[in-house]
Amino acid sequence: MKIEKDRKGQELTLTLSGRLDTTTAPTLEQELQQSWNDISTLILELKELDYISSAGLRVILTAQKHMLKQGSMKLRNLSDNVREVFEMTGFADIMTIE
Amino acid sequence: MIAPANGGDSMRNTFLKWLFAFIATAFALTFGISFLVQTRQARENAVLLIRLRISDARRQLSVTEGNLKRISEMTSAMALIKARAFAGFIEQSPELLTSREKLQEIRRMLDVDELHVSDQKGILIASVPEEYHGYDMASAAQSAAFLPAISDPSFEMVQEPQRKGSDSEMFQYAGVARIDQPGIVQIGYHPRRLMEAAQLADIRNIAAGFRIGTRGAIIICQNHQILSYGGANLSKTDLIAARINQENLLNQKIFRTHVGNQEFLGVAEKFRDYWIVGILPTNEMYLRRNSVVGVLVVVDLLLFALVFVLVSILVQKIVINGIYRINASLKKITSGNLEEKVQVTNTDEFKALSKGINATVAALKNAITETAARIDAELQFAHTIQVSGLPDPNPVFPQQVPFTLAASMKTAKEVGGDFYDYLLLDDDHLWFMIADVSGKGIPAALFMMTTKTLLHKLAEKGLSPKDIFEQSNREICARNKTGMFVTAWMGILELGSGRLECANAGHNPPLLLHADGSSEFLKIPPGLVLGGMETSKYRGSSLYLKPGDRIILYTDGVTEAQNPKGDFFAEKRFQQVMEKHNQASVTSQQLLAEINQAVSCFADGAEQADDITLLTLEFNGKTPTCLTLPAELEQLQSLQEFLEKHLLQAGISDKICSQLQLAAEEVFANIARYAYPAQAGNAGISLQILPHPKGKIILQFRDNGIPWNPLTKSPPDINLPADQRPVGGLGIFLVRKIMDDCLYQYQNNQNILTLTKYLPAE
């Protein structure tokens, strides 16, 4: 999995590509923890994310909970596979998906 | 039990019979005694009556005799007065002796019939009637009796009446001496009143005036002669024939005799030298008795009938009803209702009896309950032993195998005579069979256990079904003392090729469900049942199963299941149910559940008559692909690559491939994290892809870690808002979402999780 960071003031955009699974989720979690303290908007660009497992969902839910306290989080351009997992788990209803 | 037996006498009838006998005897005794007493009384009364009549007769006789004497004296006195008066007339007017008219006038005046006057020689000188004129008084004894009057002036005499003249009428003469000169003055007359009185006073005439009762009579006898008798319808001949004139009969004083054809009671009394006999017809004498006895009979009958009815009602109420009620209760108890209580409390005895019976039944119930509990426990134990003697109905084999096998057995009783068995002979051969021992219950179960052991041993030797049947049949026949037998169907499946070698020993033909949805009964030539005949030969048959084919072995408990109307479930219905559920999405276990459900629905509460046993074998065609990895998260990549490679090779779509990878990751991550907390371990993964028409993917995970069933984890609530949702717990939830069937088993120290995904139709 690759993570690209793009910070514009209070807005952080992370572009994920590849597979967010048990082995790669901790990387994303570390990255978020480093950067989410002084932002008000978190955007996850998921156009290139092919695959997500529960480990990835866990990180995203943690991020959502965190951002609810200090701003907002948006998910962008979900691939079919990822969108299906979001729908299965009810994540599609509790997150802002663009 | 005390329930009245058919054909025997009921207590009520016996009682009534005896009561009737007693009352009838009492009635007869009463009747007999009254009859005797009344008879005696009647006889005494009759004797008394007769004696009274006899005494009346005597009294009357005395009275009339007295009368007779007085009349006789009066008549005599009157006659003498008349004779003297005539003598006086002659003294005063002697000339009248010559005047016929004067004499006639005197005769009329004196009211006599004859007048005679004699001279001193006793020759009649004047007479009325005149023809006696000149008659010499001395010429006859009767008239000579008056001659002393010639010499004795005080002579007077009244002669006894004597018969006289042609009509022999009684006639009496009275005479005195002449006053004017010696001679006789005589008058003659018919002493009618005297004769009447005499007649009245004559004992011989008494009889006619007396009647005793209606037809009784008084009879006067003297010197064996019947002088007179009264009463109607009696004839002298009959009386003589009845010996009523015989002293030896009369001396009995009271006697019975037949006059004519009528029986009479007779009483005889001596009176002077007469016998006065009174007789009374016995039927007359018993007339009163008969009416008294008749009334008595009627009254007695009524009385005894009343007593009979009252006593029988009383007994019915006090005893019989109680006994009937007890019997009714006992009948219920006998027929199995131990809850029934006997409650007959109308008498102390019945109270005690009811209490006793209730106590006995309670004790019996306890004993039965205890025994039943013990037997139940033993049967339950036997059931456990029997079931544990059968192989796992939902087996998982140590290695991945290209088939699924499931079995079910529902015994009609706690233990049964059906069994199934299977054995993986080697990597490429599966032996399986089903059998049905004749009979049910414990004998069948015992026979089943030995037969199963025998067949299993022979299978282990690697014999063909035909040979197994022939050898086992010989052994079973050799020690079959009870005449039991077994029907069996047996097959050996070659896993690589799908070749099925099979044989039938008198068993129902299995149902073959083809992958394309069609079905047929697998009818191979059947041999004789095992244990039937020592020399039985069996024929082996073989066929090839295609991937997706299922073979269903069953016992006749399925096809011969009956509904309350008595219809059989039958092969046709069995085949229909099986065809209906022969789909890729229906697992072998589900298929068995469906048929069991269908049979149960059909039976509709009717008791299961026979064991219902089923074994289904689904041939998947290809041996699965396997991978063994160390259970570490780092190995996830290898797993994903393995899956991707085989799934894409098999032409599975990207999307499904991705879903399976997700499910596999979640399961593998679980194993890597939790299965081996202490030491390192491996995880085995096998993948089986079944082609259409029953396309499905079977993914199986095995590990030797701590036993843990991930499927028991409750799913997260996915409707909670983000801030309330826990961050974990989604892994197994996703697995369940993605896969169509998840099965967890723990066998041989292995956690085995089998995930199945059906492929959408193309």
Phi, psi values for residue B482, rounded to 5°:
-90, -5
* DSSP 8-state symbol, B568: B
Who's near B55: CB < 8 A, 6+ residues apart? none
pLDDT band for B4, please (50, 70, 90 cuts): very low
Question: CA of B728: which chain A residue's CA is closest?
Answer: A58
Contacts of B314 (CB under 8 A, 6+ apart): none
Q: Reduce the DSSP state of residue B754 to 3 states and report it.
A: strand
Within 526-565 of B, beta carbons closer than 8 Å to A belong to none
> Which of A22, A54, A95 faces B636 most closely, judged by CB atoms?
A22
Q: B632 to chain A: nearest residue by CA?
A: A23
**Which residue segments constitute the domains of chain A, with CATH numbers given?**
2-97 (3.30.750.24)
Question: Are the beta carbons of B436 and B417 closer than 8 angstroms?
Answer: yes
Pairing of strands B429-437, B418-426: antiparallel
From A50, which residue of chain B is nearest by alpha-carbon distance? B658
At residue B281, the pLDDT reads 86
Instruction: Report the C-alpha gap between B588 and B618 in whole angstroms.
Output: 7
Chain B nearest C-alpha distance from A7 (Å)? 25
Interval B419-436: pLDDT, tens: 999 999 988 899 999 999
pLDDT of residue B7: 46
Looking at the domain that runs over B625-758, which CATH code has it been given?
Answer: 3.30.565.10
Position of tokens 């998906």? A97
The CB density around residue B698, as the number of other CB atoms within 10 Å, is 20
User: What is the distance, to the nearest Å, from the Cα of residue B445 to the centroid of all Cα atoms in its chain?
Assistant: 43
B510 and B554 Cβ atoms separated by less than 8 Å = yes
Separation CA A90–CA A57 (nearest Å): 11
B5 — contact with chain A (CB < 8 Å)?
Answer: no
What are the boundaries of each domain within chain B? Answer: 15-198, 202-285, 390-619, 625-758
Report percent pLDDT > 90 for chain B.
26
SS3 B748: coil
Give A23's contacts in chain B (Cβ within 8 Å). 633-634, 636-637
Q: Which residues pair with B421 in a beta bridge?
A: B433
CB B50 within 8 A of CB B280: yes
Residue A11 Cα, gap to closest chain B Cα (Å): 21
Q: How far apart are CA A15 and CA A3, in angstroms?
A: 6
How sure is the predictor about B9, in pLDDT bands with cuts at 50, 70 and 90? low
Mean of the per-residue pLDDT values for chain B? 87
Pick the CATH number of B15-198 from 3.90.550.10, 3.30.450.20, 3.30.465.10, 3.40.50.2300: 3.30.450.20
Predicted confidence at residue B253, as pLDDT, reads 85
**In angstroms, rounded to a whole number, what is the distance separating the alpha carbons of residues B397 and B384?**
23
Q: How much is the pLDDT for B663?
A: 94
Helix axes B348-389, B441-460, angle to 10 degrees: 10
> What CA–CA distance (Å, rounded) separates A58 from A54?
6
Tokens 């054809």 correspond to what residue? B261
> What's the token pair of residue B33?
């005694």
Is A21 in contact with B636 (Cβ distance < 8 A)?
Answer: yes
Chain B hits for A55, Cβ within 8 Å: 669
CA distance B363 to B351: 18
d(C-alpha B555, C-alpha B658), whole Å: 44
Does position A21 have pLDDT exceeding 70, yes or no?
Answer: yes
The Cα–Cα gap between B750 and B86 comes to 183
Distance (Å, rounded) from C-alpha B296 to C-alpha B737? 108
Cβ partners under 8 Å of residue B725, min gap 6: A61, A94, B716, B717, B718
Nearest beta carbon to residue B633 from set A22, A51, A68: A22
CB contact under 8 A, A51 and B661: yes
Write out pLDDT tens, residues B478-489: 888 888 899 999
Facing residue for B722 by CB, picked from A81, A85, A94: A94
pLDDT for B232: 61
**Whole-complex ipTM:** 0.91
Query: Nearest C-alpha of chain B: how many angstroms from A78?
Result: 15
Structure token digits, residue B642: 């393995």
pLDDT at res. B3: 43
Which of A6-10, A18-22, A52-56, B282-286 has the weakest average pLDDT?
B282-286
A85 contact residues in B (CB cutoff 8 A): 662, 734
Give first-to-last CA distance, chain A, whole Å.
22
The 8-class DSSP code of residue A71 comes to: S
Q: Cα–Cα distance between B342 and B328 in angstroms, integer?
A: 9
Facing residue for B669 by CB, picked from A22, A62, A93: A22
Q: Is A3 helix (H, G, I), strand (E, B) or coil?
A: strand
What is the mean predicted confidence (pLDDT) over B44-70? 85
| Helix axis angle, A25-35 to A54-70, nearest 10° | 10
DSSP E strands, B273-355: 274-281
pLDDT of B42 strictly over 90: no
* Residue in A53, A62, A93 closest to B727 by CB: A62
Q: Do domains B390-619 and B625-758 have the same CATH topology?
A: no
Residues of A in contact with B655 (CB under 8 A): 80-81
Q: Collapse the DSSP code of B240 into the 3-class scheme (helix H, G, I; strand E, B; otherwise coil) and give the result.
A: helix
Give the CATH number of domain B390-619; options: 1.10.3720.10, 3.60.40.10, 3.40.50.360, 3.30.460.80: 3.60.40.10
Q: How distant is the alpha carbon of residue B730 from its chain centre?
A: 77
A93 to B728: CB separation less than 8 angstroms, yes or no: no
Q: A4 vs chain B: nearest CA distance in angstroms?
A: 23
**Segment B631-686, tens digit of pLDDT:** 999 999 999 999 999 998 888 888 899 999 999 999 999 999 999 998 899 999 98
Q: Is residue A35 within 8 Å of residue A5, measured between CB atoms?
A: yes
CB-side neighbour CA atoms (13 Å) of B215:
15
| Distance of alpha carbon B458 from the chain centroid | 62
- B723 touching A, CB under 8 A? yes
Confidence of residue B8 (pLDDT cuts 50, 70, 90): low
What the block records as the tokens of B96 is: 């009248």
Q: How many CB atoms lie within 10 A of CB B537?
A: 11
Which H or E run includes B430?
strand B429-437
pLDDT band with cut points at 50, 70 and 90 for residue B231: low
pLDDT at B623 over 80: no
Tell which wins on pLDDT, A84 or B322: A84
- Across B580-653, the runs of DSSP E, i.e. the strands, are 612-619, 625-630
Contact B210, B230 (CB under 8 A): yes
Residue B195 or residue B466, greater confidence: B466
- pLDDT for residue A76: 92
Q: Find chain B residues with C-beta within 8 A of A84's C-beta.
A: 659
Query: What tens digit of pLDDT does each residue of B371-389 get?
Result: 888 888 888 888 888 888 8
Cβ-based interface (< 8 Å): residues of A facing B: 21-23, 50-51, 53-55, 57-58, 61-62, 64-65, 68, 80-81, 84-85, 88-90, 93-95
pLDDT digits (tens, 9 = 90+) for A27-40: 999 999 988 888 99
Question: With the C-alpha atoms ordered B99, B101, B102, B104, is the resulting torsion angle positive or negative?
Answer: positive
B8-22, B145-159, B636-650: least confidently modelled range: B8-22
Chain A: give the shortest CA distance to residue B583, in Å.
26
- Determine the residue type at A48: E
Partners of residue B634 in chain A, C-beta under 8 Å: 23
What residues of B are in contact with residue A95 (Cβ under 8 Å)? 722
Dihedral of the alpha carbons of B497, B498, B501, B504, in degrees to the nearest 10: 180
C-alpha distance from residue B757 to each of B154, B540, B620 (Å):
185, 37, 14
Does residue B762 have a pLDDT over 70? no
Q: Cα–Cα distance between B442 and B450 in angstroms, integer?
A: 13
The answer to whether B730 contacts A64, with C-beta atoms less than 8 Å apart, is no
The mean per-residue pLDDT over the stretch B258-266 comes to 86
Residue of chain B whose alpha carbon sits nearest to that of A90: B718
DSSP B574-592: HHHHHHHT-STTS-HHHHH
Would the pLDDT of B18 be above 80?
yes
Residue B474: which pLDDT band, with cuts at 50, 70 and 90?
A: very high
List of residues 6+ apart from B405 with CB closer than 8 A:
B395, B422, B430, B432, B588, B615, B616, B617, B618
- Asked whether the predicted pLDDT for residue B399 surpasses 50, the reply is yes
Does B472 score more than 80 pLDDT? yes
Considering A44-53, B208-217, B326-335, the range whose residues carry the highest mean pLDDT is: A44-53
pLDDT digits (tens, 9 = 90+) for B564-607: 888 899 999 999 999 998 887 888 899 999 999 999 999 888 88
N- to C-terminal Cα separation, chain B: 75
Nearest to B742 by CA among A87, B546, B649, B731: B731
pLDDT at residue B317 in the model: 83
Q: How many CB atoms are located within 10 Å of the residue B213 CB?
A: 18
> Is a pLDDT exceeding 90 seen at residue B512?
yes
Distance CA B694, CA B515 (A): 7
CATH pick for B202-285 out of 3.30.2010, 3.40.50, 3.30.750, 3.40.1840: 3.40.1840
Q: What are the phi and psi torsion angles at B716 (to 5°)?
A: -70, 155
CB contact under 8 A, B636 and A89: no
- Please name which of B173, B174, B181, B187 lies closest in space to residue B94, comparing C-alpha atoms: B181
Burial B107-137 (b: 16+ CB within 10 A, else e): beebebbbbbbbbeebbbebbbeeebeebeb
B150, HSE (Cβ side, Cα atoms, 13 Å): 17
DSSP letter assigned to residue B123: B
The whole-number pLDDT of residue B466 equals: 93
Amino acid at B321: N
How far apart CA B339 and CA B361 sit, in angstroms, is: 9
**How close, in Å, is residue A45 to chain B by CA atoms?**
20
Residue A94 has its nearest CB partner, among B634, B655, B721, at: B721
Q: In terms of CA atoms, which chain B residue is nearest residue A80?
A: B655
Give the chain A residue nearest B733 (alpha carbons).
A89
Q: What are B270-321's pLDDT values in tens digits?
A: 888 888 888 888 888 888 888 888 888 899 889 888 988 998 888 888 888 8
- Find residue B550's DSSP bridge partners: B513, B618
Q: Please give the Cα distance from B176 to B321 (Å, whole number).
A: 109
Residue at B30: amino acid letter? T
Tokens of B245: 């004139």
Closest CA of chain A from B728, distance in Å: 6
